[in-house]
Amino acid sequence: MYYVSKRMEIIAERKLTLDYRSPSTTRQTNKWTFTIYCKSKTLNSNGMVIDFDVIKKIIHGKLNNQYIYEIIPHNPTAENIAKWCCDEIPSAWKCEVQELKGNTATYIVDDF
């Protein structure tokens, strides 16, 4: 099995819908750190699991400097954003999303 990971930072805005009072229910801009983990039993014709630039184009290209609420179809919690990343990248089996230093959500594809 081959494994690769790509770490990147984005700046994005979001607003959460919560059933309690929180500063997160107002529109805020945050710096996010994403780590995407991909794997494959075989390498593609270029000798890669996936090109790192492809991961960046998908995640950074769709989310950077955007209002995440308009892109993620569910409440854009770090947990839902991590799942969205795995859904967007077919070879992804795990994604970590850090929204603030010390606050990280992880999604792992169970049936990968």
For 9-60, the pLDDT digits (tens) are 999 999 888 889 988 888 889 999 999 999 999 999 999 999 999 999 999 9
Token digits of residue 65: 């400097």
Domain that holds residue 43: 2-108
Sign (positive or negative) of CA dihedral 95, 71, 29, 59: positive
Residue 112 has pLDDT above 80, yes or no: no
Q: Does an H or E element contain 91, and which?
A: none
φ/ψ region of 45 (left if φ > 0, alpha if ψ in -120 to 50, else beta) reads alpha
How far does CA 16 lie from the centroid of its chain?
16
- Reported confidence tier of residue 81, pLDDT bands at 50, 70, 90: very high
Domain count, the chain: 1
CATH of the domain at 83: 3.30.479.10
